Structure 1
Amino acid sequence: MNLDHDSPVHRLAPEVKIAATVAVTIAIVATPREAFWAFGVYALIVAVLAGIARIPAGWLARRSLVEVPFVLLAVLLPFAGAGERIEWWGLHLSVDGLYGGFNLLVKGTLGVLVALILAGTTSTRDIIAGLDRLRCPAVLTQIATFMLRYLDVLIDEARRMRIARLARGDDPRFLWQLRGFATGVGALFLRAFERGERVYLAMLSRGYTGALPHRPDAGAGVAQWATVATVPLVTAAIAVTATIVT
């Protein structure tokens, strides 16, 4: 999913970008919903980061569609909210619902954009390596590693099973053939479980002791941490200022 560009953000160590992403997201979420100016500053910061990372606006817009269900919920909140109501173009809207809808929309959108900048500048393998350097539980990073390694294998297995069903006259478009589809999903699960057992035994025979080998690179230095820390510090300052002023 990441963009194969060369930018200062791409060259940063993954653990630095992950930590900065989490810190910025927390600052955005902690900002009071009434501080409209703060969210404008956050949007400007996100736009500057996307420009430095050379991420096209269209790329961000297309992948931001993942939050469409939350946008619909934000649109409905002013109509379903309780409390004081105002009239706008013949519509009776809840004041608390308007604040709630704005809060959900702006924080969700900014959070998605920040996460997309991380995904666009960091490969999946590097993200897992960064989580490992940040002392994320080894069980979680290993599960994610194996999932990425064998996801294509399972997708290809499912494709072959679907072709075999179609060759035998199955047509998954009809509702009464849902039972056959469910049986296929169960068979795929069993095959995946058996494959996992075989892989695990093969790893044990090759000396696996519960931890995967680490890559030799040293990771981020003090200079990278100090440079990237400016963005979370600025967003944290904005959040604190907005809380005090509001």
Structure 2
Amino acid sequence: MGERLYLHRHSVTHSLPSHVKILTVLVFISVSVATPITRWPAFIAFFSLLIFTAVMSKIPILLLFKRALIEIPFVFFAILMPFFGEGEKFSIFGVMVYRDGLLAGTSIVVKGTLGVLAAVILSTTTTAREILRGLEKLKLPMIMVQIASFMLRYINVISDEMERMKVARESRGFIATGIKHWKVLATAAAALFIRSYERGERVHLAMLSRGFDGALPSLDSHSVTTREWFTALSIPGLALIASITASLIGW
């Protein structure tokens, strides 16, 4: 399932080592979060840098924003913030809102969107396996890398089991049409849990029998060049310059 997000292209971004891209995304998000929302020219520059990166990575802009829609459920709270709070109030199209609440809500939406877009670019240009290997190279605790690795592996296991059970039900003429079929679906969910657990045990034993010791195998001996570091960090570097410039000018 994690590999389905990857979009195979030949670009500079795709060719960069995974741990370099992860570090670049973290630095970019840190700069974005640390910039006050009132410095709107800096945020225009941030969005422009992300669009430029997507174009250079040969990612369709429509696909980029389509995948970013995953944040919609998380922005509802931010939309309500201008209507609650304390302090100065003013009218927008006849609706009274709080200034501090409006700034806080806008900050959550804008900065959250920047983070989601950066994460989408990372997942589109890097496979799930490469991301895990990158986290390993960045010295993330091994137990966390293993948990993420097994999570991705067992999501695929459960997805495959669910698909097979769905085909088996439909081949016997079962189609869920209402509340009367909830009992059958509940029974299927319990059976899915048991079958997935048992298959997960077999997958783990198969991995151990093949010498798995908790570390991801890697045949990549490529060392990161100065040019690759410069290429990757140029984006958060430009973002930092835009933030500092907006602060000095007083926008």
Length-normalised TM-score, structure 2: 0.85
Q: Is 1:213 aligned with 2:217?
A: yes
CA distance in 2, matches of 1:131, 1:27: 20
CA distance in 1, matches of 2:109, 2:28: 17
Is 1:88 aligned with 2:92? yes
Q: Match of 2:230?
A: 226
Q: 1:129 maps to which residue?
A: 133
- Displacement after TM superposition at 1:171 (Å): 4.2
28, 35, 49: which one pairs with 1:31?
Answer: 35
Letter in structure 2 aligned against 1:152: N
Q: Across the two proteins, how many residue pairs are aligned to each other?
A: 246
SS of the residue 2:97 aligns to: strand
In structure 2, the CA distance between the partners of 1:158 and 1:203, relative to structure 1 (3 Å rule), is same
Which residue does the alignment assign to 2:80? 76
- RMSD over aligned CA atoms reads 2.5
Q: Which moved more, 1:8-17 or 1:181-190?
A: 181-190
Q: CA deviation at 1:241?
A: 5.5
Structure 1 unaligned regions, length at least 5:
none
Aligned to 2:146: 142
Q: Assess if the C-alpha contact under 8 Å between 1:30 and 1:239 holds in 2.
A: no
User: For residues 168 and 6 of structure 1, what CA distance do their matches in structure 2 show?
Assistant: 46
Given that 1:170 and 1:177 are in contact with CA atoms closer than 8 Å, whether structure 2 keeps it comes out as: no
Deviates more, 1:168-177 or 1:189-198: 168-177
Matched to 1:196, the amino acid is G
Cα distance change on mapping 1:88 and 1:226 into 2, 3 Å: closer
Matches within 5 A, 1:1-246: 1-166=5-170, 170-240=174-244, 245=250
Note closer, same or farther for the CA distance 1:184–1:88 as it changes in structure 2 (3 Å cut). same
Task: Measure the CA separation in 2 of the matches of 1:77 and 1:159.
Answer: 41
- Structure 2 runs not aligned, ≥5 long: none
Q: 1:179 to 1:4 in 2, by over 3 A?
A: same
Other structure's SS at 2:91 match: strand
CA distances 1:19-58 after superposition (whole Å, capped 9, x unpaired): 0001101111111122112111211211221222122211
TM-score, structure 1 as length reference? 0.87
SS at match of 1:114: helix
> Structure 1's 152 and 199: CA in aligned 2 closer, same or farther, altered over 3 A?
closer
Kindly provide the amino acid, as one letter, of the partner of residue 110 in structure 2.
V
Offset at 1:243? 6.0
**Could you tell me the percent identity over the aligned residues?**
40
